[in-house]
Amino acid sequence: TQLLEQSPQFLSIQEGENLTVYCNSSSVFSSLQWYRQEPGEGPVLLVTVVTGGEVKKLKRLTFQFGDARKDSSLHITAAQPGDTGLYLCAGFFNDMRFGAGTRLTVKP
């Protein structure tokens, strides 16, 4: 059983569309991170959030941490083919636990 549930598992969209992916848990995180992973590479950190209700923006990416610190979302505006990859959320409990990821494909 995954401690962190990510949805959707797979997402295929056209360039220019908007999308949101979700990360949910029944447990409270002390911090939560989002990573992006490309084939054959390790995950690369996008953002860390630590405060309930926190919103962070990274260019066209908007990250939100739930008020109760049990969930998070990643919204991408006007997706581009370069956004293609596996998006992983990770929450710190007694150690860092990862979700199974959302595999995003953006078609030109």
**Which residue ranges make up the site for other proteins (CB under 8 A)?**
2, 4, 30-31, 33, 35, 40-45, 48, 50, 88, 90, 92, 95-101
Q: Which is nearer to other proteins, 14 or 69 (CB)?
A: 69
Residue in 107, 104, 105, 89 with CA at minimum distance from that of residue 25: 89
Q: Which is nearer to other proteins, 33 or 79 (CB)?
A: 33
Give the distance, in angstroms, between the CA of residue 26 and the centroid of all CA atoms in the same chain.
17
| Smallest gap from residue 106 Cβ to other proteins (A) | 21
| Smallest gap from residue 9 Cβ to other proteins (A) | 8
Q: Which is nearer to other proteins, 4 or 104 (CB)?
A: 4
The Cα-based distances of 47 to 31, 32, 54, 64, 69 in angstroms read 11, 8, 11, 10, 15
Residue in 14, 34, 36, 38 with CA at minimum distance from that of residue 22: 34
Q: Which is nearer to other proteins, 15 or 30 (CB)?
A: 30
| Smallest gap from residue 18 Cβ to other proteins (A) | 25
| Smallest gap from residue 88 Cβ to other proteins (A) | 7
Structure tokens given for 18:
């908007």
Peptide bond connecting 81 to the previous residue in cis, omega within 30 degrees of 0 = no
